[in-house]
């Protein structure tokens, strides 16, 4: 059973529909614009970055796309990371394990080590703590269904907006901050 820190209230779901950055359909174009480190949330975007010869510094995957299993070729391609960590994270939540391991993965990225977090459950909401925990200039890449890959750059303003969303979720915002090393 996952130790849930935050859960997304139904009334906030609409706030997360709009992309948080530019949408790309070509991974090479996205990579040319991306900063370091690159954090990928989602199996398909991770696959596209790997196919374009750019291993994300941190990748979060769950074996699914649009709630269906990803193609075997996609899943099989997600390999070669320095670290592979499994975490439990139920749908529409952020668990203590996910937050703590995300922080550790971002820290390892600063030392040049790559990490894939294999999520049992769902990784979709992880984009928000990435924007809060990653350093200024880092890139978040995630999928926008039926449109492409979103590239969001971490800035103080972006971090503040993501933190506001996280702190309005149900649960324990203070514990979220502690898990991400913000206090």
Structural domain includes residue 179: no
Query: Tell me, what's the pLDDT at 99?
Result: 98
The candidate with the shortest Cα–Cα distance to 58, out of 145, 8, 122, 129, is 129
Query: Tell me, what's the pLDDT at 176?
Result: 97
Q: How much of the chain exceeds pLDDT 70, in percent?
A: 99
Tens digit of pLDDT for each residue in 39-93? 999 999 999 999 999 999 999 998 787 777 777 878 888 999 999 999 999 999 9
Which domain does 40 fall in, by range? 19-170
Structural domain includes residue 65: yes
Q: How confident is the model over 133-147, as a mean pLDDT?
A: 95
Tens digit of pLDDT for each residue in 4-36? 999 999 999 988 888 999 999 999 999 999 999
Structural domain includes residue 2: no
Annotated binding residues for GTP, written as ranges, equal 43-45, 62, 64, 123, 146
Structural domain includes residue 8: no
Number of structural domains found in the chain: 1
Q: How many helices (H) and strands (E) does the chain have?
A: 7, 12
pLDDT exceeds cutoff 80 at 183: no
Annotated binding residues, written as ranges, equal 43-45, 62, 64, 123, 146
Q: How confident is the model over 118-133, as a mean pLDDT?
A: 95
Query: Tell me, what's the pLDDT at 105?
Result: 98
DSSP string, 49-99: HHHTT---SEEEE-SEETTEEPPHHHHHHS---SEEEEEEE-TTEEEHHHH
């Amino acid at each position: 059973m996952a130790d849930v820190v935050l859960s997304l209230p139904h009334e906030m779901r609409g706030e997360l529909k709009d992309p948080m950055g530019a949408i790309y359909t070509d991974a090479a174009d996205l990579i040319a614009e991306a900063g370091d480190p690159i954090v990928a949330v989602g199996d398909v975007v991770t696959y596209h970055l790997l196919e374009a010869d750019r291993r994300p510094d941190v990748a979060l995957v769950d074996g699914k796309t649009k709630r269906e299993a990803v193609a075997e070729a996609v899943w099989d391609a997600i390999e070669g990371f320095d670290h592979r960590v499994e975490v439990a994270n139920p749908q529409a939540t952020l668990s203590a394990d996910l937050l703590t391991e995300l922080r550790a993965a971002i820290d390892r990225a600063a030392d040049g080590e790559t990490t894939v977090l294999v999520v049992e459950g769902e990784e979709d909401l992880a984009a928000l703590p990435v924007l809060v925990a990653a350093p200024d200039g880092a890139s978040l890449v995630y999928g926008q269904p039926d449109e492409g890959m979103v590239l969001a750059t971490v800035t103080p303003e972006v971090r503040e907006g993501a933190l506001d969303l996280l702190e309005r979720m149900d649960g324990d915002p203070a514990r979220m901050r502690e898990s991400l090393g913000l206090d």
